[in-house]
């Protein structure tokens, strides 16, 4: 049994990939589906100028889970003004104003995202994620290419032109300006780095055999990575980004490790291993190498992401279907909480508010609210192709 990342790379190895991806994205209409008891702040928007500003602001505020659009007469917060002039959000004894410099729809959308995040912080006391980008792989026919988009679904950008035999998978943000991904070139999976603004990818690490899953520590000093050579099987290691020295953390000769994710303080790593003959989550101390297993329920526990508030989200398979669960690292299964209904859920990634996840289901990206009485999952946007392995910057 191998990790999901390894199986994916095997599929890549046998696939014949077509020419570069060409697609156009369109945002889906947001449906305000709520669970009973969800509390939201009512807001209205009357901003003249670019219609893109209003649509982006409305969508991002609704996605935050803290706001609901209403008529001006019932709104407790009113957003008024004009793009290219002054835009003001006022209500509940607080006022936010800024000089809009939007010259086109793209810049208007960016200003709306910035205002949405500021309103989340000011009125809802939670971090906004409207300005954070999602990296994902889009599968269109036999082509698999790395792309980015904002949660509101606008300004989708294709970064790679991998073409036949050179697919990519598993993007992870190195920092705001660069993305690591696993690419298949020269007959083996290797880790590449590509600028988030676009440009040619460069080889970051390729040790022969399998090299995959690079994810950067919170302080930006190290990367956790899966390496199979010279060990003979995939093992969890760390690499110093400045000096290039690496340190082997696991020694499980009859098993496969994969999908590492750092704790918020950078002292530990959660990862997947099949050393018990099933895929489960383990936590290892990056200094002492002491490890412990934290899951036992379910037939397959994969895709861990350690969130900013200390909770770990992952995919668990139960009764043949996958769900997303959230667990506390100290208590493991005792604290596990399922946050989706059974389905084909995969690859959850935490947003910076510690409340929401971006996850994949049936080739589409959804926003999953993990709060008690939170919103039902929302499909974020539609592109031409299947969206897989999302990772949001934070």
Longest dimension (CA), the chain: 68
Cis peptide before 230 (omega within 30 of 0): yes
Q: Which tokens hold the place of 121?
A: 């912080």
Nearest residue to 18 (alpha-carbon basis) of 136, 137, 145, 135: 145
Distance CA 175, CA 297 (A): 34
The three-class DSSP label of residue 24 is coil
Helix H or strand E encompassing 53? helix 51-63
Helix H or strand E encompassing 189? strand 188-195
The tally of CA atoms less than 13 A away on the side-chain side of residue 380 is 35
Residue with tokens 């520590």: 217
Nearest residue to 337 (alpha-carbon basis) of 353, 329, 326, 345: 326
Q: Which tokens hold the place of 188?
A: 């083996």
Residue 5 has a pLDDT of 42
Residue 184 has a pLDDT of 84
With b for 16 or more beta-carbon neighbours within 10 A and e for fewer, the 346-360 pattern comes to: bbbbbbbbbbbbbbb
Residue with tokens 């861990």: 304
Residue 141 has a pLDDT of 77
Domains in the chain with CATH codes:
4-28+130-392 (2.120.10.30), 41-124 (3.40.50.10070)
> What are phi and psi for residue 43, nearest 5 degrees?
-140, 155
Residue 188 has a pLDDT of 84
Distance CA 46, CA 82 (A): 8
Q: What is the Cα 266 distance to its own chain's centre?
A: 18
Q: Which tokens hold the place of 282?
A: 């383990």
Alpha carbon of 394 to those of 103, 148, 264: distances in Å?
Answer: 27, 14, 12
Q: Which tokens hold the place of 163?
A: 């073409």
Segments of the chain with pLDDT less than 50: 1-37
Distance CA 44, CA 123 (A): 14
- Which residues, listed in sequence order, are joined to residue 361 by a DSSP beta bridge? 345, 364
Distance CA 57, CA 391 (A): 22
**How does pLDDT run across 106-149, given as a tens digit for each residue?**
999 999 999 999 999 999 999 999 999 999 999 887 788 999 99
Cβ contact 19:163 at 8 Å: yes
């Amino acid at each position: 049994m191998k990790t999901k990342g390894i199986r994916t790379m095997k599929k890549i190895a046998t696939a014949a990939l077509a020419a570069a991806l060409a697609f156009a994205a369109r945002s889906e209409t947001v449906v305000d589906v709520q669970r009973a008891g969800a509390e939201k702040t009512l807001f209205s928007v009357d901003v003249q100028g670019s219609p893109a500003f209003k649509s982006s602001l409305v969508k991002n505020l609704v996605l935050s889970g803290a706001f609901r659009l209403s008529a001006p007469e019932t709104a407790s917060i009113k957003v008024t003004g004009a793009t290219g002039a002054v835009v003001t959000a006022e209500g509940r004894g607080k006022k936010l104003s800024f000089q809009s410099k939007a010259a086109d729809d793209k810049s208007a959308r960016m200003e709306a995202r910035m205002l949405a995040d500021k309103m989340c912080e000011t009125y809802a006391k939670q971090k906004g994620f409207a300005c954070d980008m999602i990296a994902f792989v889009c599968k269109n026919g036999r082509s698999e290419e790395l792309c980015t988009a904002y949660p509101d679904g606008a300004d989708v950008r294709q970064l790679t032109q991998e073409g036949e035999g050179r697919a990519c998978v598993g993007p992870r943000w190195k920092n705001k300006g660069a993305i690591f991904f696993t690419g298949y070139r020269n007959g083996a999976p290797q880790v590449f780095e590509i600028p988030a603004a676009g440009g040619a990818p460069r080889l970051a690490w390729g040790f022969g055999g399998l090299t995959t899953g690079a994810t950067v520590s919170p302080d930006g000093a190290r990367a956790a990575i899966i390496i199979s050579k010279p060990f003979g099987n995939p093992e969890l290691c760390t690499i110093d980004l400045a000096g290039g020295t690496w340190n082997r953390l696991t020694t499980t000769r009859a098993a496969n490790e994969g999908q590492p994710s750092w704790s918020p303080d950078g002292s530990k790593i959660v990862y997947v291993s099949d050393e018990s003959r099933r895929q489960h989550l383990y936590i290892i101390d990056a200094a002492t190498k002491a490890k412990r297993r934290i899951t036992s329920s379910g037939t397959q526990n994969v895709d861990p992401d350690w969130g900013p508030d200390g909770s770990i989200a992952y995919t668990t398979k139960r009764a043949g279907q996958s769900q997303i669960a959230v667990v506390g690292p100290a208590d493991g299964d005792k604290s596990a909480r399922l946050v989706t209904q059974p389905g084909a859920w995969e690859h959850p990634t935490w947003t910076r508010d510690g409340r929401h996840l971006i996850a994949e289901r049936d080739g589409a990206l959804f926003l999953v609210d993990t709060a008690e009485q939170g919103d039902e999952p929302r499909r974020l946007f539609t592109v031409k192709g299947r969206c897989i392995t999302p990772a949001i910057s934070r």
